[in-house]
Amino acid sequence: MNGRRSTLLLVTIVVTVVACSAPSTPRYHPSDLAAIELRPADAPKGLGYVAQFSGDQDLNAFARDDAERARLAEDGFELGNGALFVPADRVAGGHLTARDPIVQGTVAVFARDEGASASLGRFLDDLRSRQLRGTTDGTPPAIGDESYRLDATNTDGATVTVLGWRRANLVLVVIGTSFAPASVERLAGLVDRRALSTASPSG
């Protein structure tokens, strides 16, 4: 009996040590978003940050319609944050043409990883089926827990590069319109590095 107790005690100790030493899963909170998203100082050359269409977005601002609002709520959506860059001479307003470069960044935090993944999947499906034309799946950079790249044109015929990825309970997207794909990847890498440095350990 003593030998059996010793064996059970040893197993318990080993399991406890392994559990305590396992890497923690990074977690994100609404307060993290501003430190992760693209900022005015990140504006690519020739572009300017449009404050009017950037910053925090609650559920009502983030969802495109009532049906998506309900799905986002089911997914555990907590907060979104966006950044928009347009030609610097039209930050205050003005007509944009199909050849004008535009960059959009979006970061959203969810209560659960699976909710973040579901939301990202729906967003990409909506781009493929409704918003973009001639969409192809490209090779995304190796970032996050899952990542995707779409190459397409919009309804005006402008080229569009979309990089969307998930890191734990965070969804991150960078979109470049009439903007070099390599530069979209560079901005996505910047955002992802910020996400890595901002994550809070959990578990």
Kindly report the three-state secondary structure assignment for every residue of 157-187.
Answer: CCEEEEEEEEECCEEEEEEEECCCHHHHHHH
Per-residue pLDDT at 5:
43
Per-residue pLDDT at 200:
77
Q: Which helix (H) or strand (E) holds 120?
A: helix 113-126
Per-residue pLDDT at 40:
97
Per-residue pLDDT at 98:
86
Angle between helices 66-75 and 113-126 (to 10 degrees): 150
Per-residue pLDDT at 94:
82
Residue 122: closest CA among 110, 134, 139, 140: 110
Per-residue pLDDT at 14:
34
Parse the chain into domains and list their residue ranges.
26-202
Residue ranges for the chain with pLDDT beneath 50: 1-24, 203
Q: For 26-202, CATH number?
A: 3.40.1000.70
Q: What is the DSSP string of 36-103?
A: HS--GGGPPTTEEE-GGG-EEE-HHHH-SSHHHHHHHHHHTEEEEEEEEEEEGGGTT-----TTS-EE
Q: Which residue has the tokens 């530069």?
A: 183
Per-residue pLDDT at 21:
35
